[in-house]
Amino acid sequence: MHSEPALDALWCNQATLGPLIQAMPTHLWRLEEAWRGKHIVTFAQAPEDSDWDRFKHYARKVRVFGCYQHHRSLDIHTDAMLTLASYRPAISLLPVLREVTFSTGSPENKSFLFAQCLLSSTIQHVSLVIDVEQYATRALLSAIPLNCPDIKSLDIKLSPDLEPSSAQRGSQTLHSAVIDLVLAMPRLRSLRIPSLSLRFNVLDHISTFSSLSRLETGKLTLDTARLRSFSEPNSRFPSLRSLTFSVESLEAAALLVDSICRPLTSLTITIKRDSSAAEIPNFVHTLTRHPCYESLLHLGITIEHAQNGPNEQADASDVRALFLLPRLESLQLSSRPFAAAIDDAWLATAATTWPQLRSLSIRGMTETTLAGLIPLVRRCPLEHISVDATWTPFNIQHLLIIGNTQVQIIDIVNSRLQGDVLAVLRCLLLLFPRLKSVHNEGRDDAAAWAELQRFLDRSLQC
């Protein structure tokens, strides 16, 4: 039938089982108004075996299911879930399901109690958003590896309130249950647990996953002595290409990266404690002699608590050493020591060295100006740019430049706006003719930035 492709597309992605219930004979179900325009579907009478035909027909088209607590206009009554769960032994509710997202939501979210009814061997991608502790949460975590042995991608977001502490025994148990789930899935290709802290023994176990190509973790609780014992680079993370993690120091970050001898294409690091500029040379040296130096496409470095002081600036040669990474397409530096050593000459060299640069973000006051962006606009296919700089107008006479039409929003943290605001706007629109918004998070020159945005808004109305 010609309508089947359209029906496949229509049913492919569902956020609730409500539409499937509504596909059954109309005398079986009814809608009850809940709150704020939302409705709950429930069974008006018990279905017979023959009543499930349309449910089963359309259920075979659902490949992506997102069980979110919010953004749903049609929810399911608990009684209806009980009816579905009682029929679960006879059928797999969604027999071709490939991707599923579960969210615990609020404690009143009863539908999460029936999440196990959707688990099947066809599922390859699982996302869990755990905001509250429910007694069904750990049961679901235990059931996933048993019912979904072929999962390739696992994404778990744990609320900060559920991080383990000595005062929260329940959260400690939940944390352990999440770790147990991760360790029971050795066939994973992608593992994202950004809010989960890991100890060395857990990371050591994950490093044996032969197919894992993407790893994103929270804080790694490691000491440098144990990191140095992480010394079998040829057997660790054999397929890893993308790595995101946070540690206490640049020294620990350098040791961990050095112990993973793989041609990474993406590396994102967050440093949690105070770090000084003295730690930067060894870190940069590690990067530029690592097997990833020829393969790295994305590099992100964030130092959350950089030390202040006249000597807390990276040496210019260390920052320029990043040009030894020839294939970068995305660079994010959120660090005062790095930023303080970057000027217009550095941006000009970046434009020449990285002709495929699509995203550049430098947080922390640099020595760059608005004119320093000209080489980047001329040579690079930028889609995103955010560089803390001194925004002063430049001479646009006889300047031949083809503006970047991809960048429409510029978000900066603490830039300075100097000179005539209208002149700055003219320069901006020359560089980025489709610019719609400029947002500066810093409090300095707030009136001038607001005026710049007003002028920009007016130009969009012309």
Q: How far apart are CA 158 and CA 258, in angstroms?
A: 29
Asked if the structure places residue 297 within a domain, the reply is yes
175 has a pLDDT exceeding 70? yes
Same domain, 347 and 262: no
Same domain, 298 and 420: no
pLDDT of residue 104: 77
Same domain, 213 and 334: yes
Residue partners of 422: CB distance under 8 A and separation at least 6: 455
Asked if the structure places residue 333 within a domain, the reply is yes
Domain CATH code at residue 299: 3.80.10
231 vs 95 pLDDT, higher one = 95
Out of 303, 324, 339, a domain closes at 339
From residue 266, alpha-carbon distances to 182, 212, 221 in Å are 22, 14, 22
The answer to whether 382 touches 347, Cβ cutoff 8 Å, is no
**Residues 398-418, mean pLDDT to the nearest whole number:** 85
Question: What pLDDT digit, counting tens, does each position of 132-163 carry?
Answer: 776 778 888 999 999 999 999 999 998 877 76
Angle, nearest 10°, between helix axes 169-183 and 135-147?
10
Asked if the structure places residue 107 within a domain, the reply is no
Same domain, 299 and 398: no
Out of 290, 307, 339, a domain closes at 339
Residue partners of 266: CB distance under 8 A and separation at least 6: 241, 242, 243, 244, 296, 297, 298, 299
Asked if the structure places residue 152 within a domain, the reply is no
Same domain, 292 and 386: no
Same domain, 311 and 239: yes
What SS3 class is residue 276?
coil
pLDDT of residue 307: 58
Beginning with the edge strand found earlier in the chain, give each strand of the sheet holding 29-33 in spatial order: 29-33, 39-43, 74-76
> What region does 105 belong to: left with phi over 0, alpha with psi -120 to 50, or beta?
left
For a pLDDT cut of 70, what percent of the chain falls above it?
Answer: 86
The answer to whether 305 touches 333, Cβ cutoff 8 Å, is no
Task: Identify the domain containing residue 321 by its residue range.
Answer: 197-339
pLDDT of residue 111: 62
Asked if the structure places residue 305 within a domain, the reply is yes
DSSP bridge partners of 217: 193
Question: What pLDDT digit, counting tens, does each position of 258-301 carry?
Answer: 889 899 999 999 998 766 678 889 999 999 999 999 999 999 99
Query: What is the pLDDT confidence band of residue 431, given thresholds at 50, 70 and 90?
Result: very high
| Lowest pLDDT segment from 118-132, 178-192, 352-366 | 118-132
Query: What is the pLDDT confidence band of residue 87, given thresholds at 50, 70 and 90?
Result: confident
Q: How far apart are CA 164 and CA 101, in angstroms?
A: 23
Asked if the structure places residue 411 within a domain, the reply is yes
Same domain, 333 and 358: no
Same domain, 443 and 315: no
The answer to whether 115 touches 153, Cβ cutoff 8 Å, is no
> 32, exposed or middle or buried, with CB in 10 Å at 0-12, 13-18, 19+?
exposed
Asked if the structure places residue 459 within a domain, the reply is yes
Same domain, 202 and 323: yes
Same domain, 391 and 259: no
Same domain, 349 and 325: no
Q: Give me the number of domains the chain comprises.
A: 2
189 vs 276 pLDDT, higher one = 189
Q: Specify which of 94-103, 326-335, 406-415 reaches the highest per-range mean pLDDT.
A: 326-335
Residue partners of 121: CB distance under 8 A and separation at least 6: 147, 148, 149, 150
**Joined tokens for residue 160:** 């900060």
Q: E strands along 310-397, which residues?
A: 330-334, 359-363, 384-387, 390-391
Question: What pLDDT digit, counting tens, does each position of 195-222 carry?
Answer: 888 888 899 899 999 999 999 998 887 7
Q: Which of 149, 171, 143, 144 is nearest to 158 (CA)?
A: 171
What SS3 class is residue 33?
strand
356 has a pLDDT exceeding 90? yes
**Residues 70-74, mean pLDDT to the nearest whole number:** 54
Same domain, 225 and 306: yes
> 336, exposed or middle or buried, with CB in 10 Å at 0-12, 13-18, 19+?
buried
- Average pLDDT along the chain: 86
Asked if the structure places residue 209 within a domain, the reply is yes
Out of 339, 355, 373, a domain closes at 339
pLDDT of residue 170: 47
The answer to whether 211 touches 174, Cβ cutoff 8 Å, is no
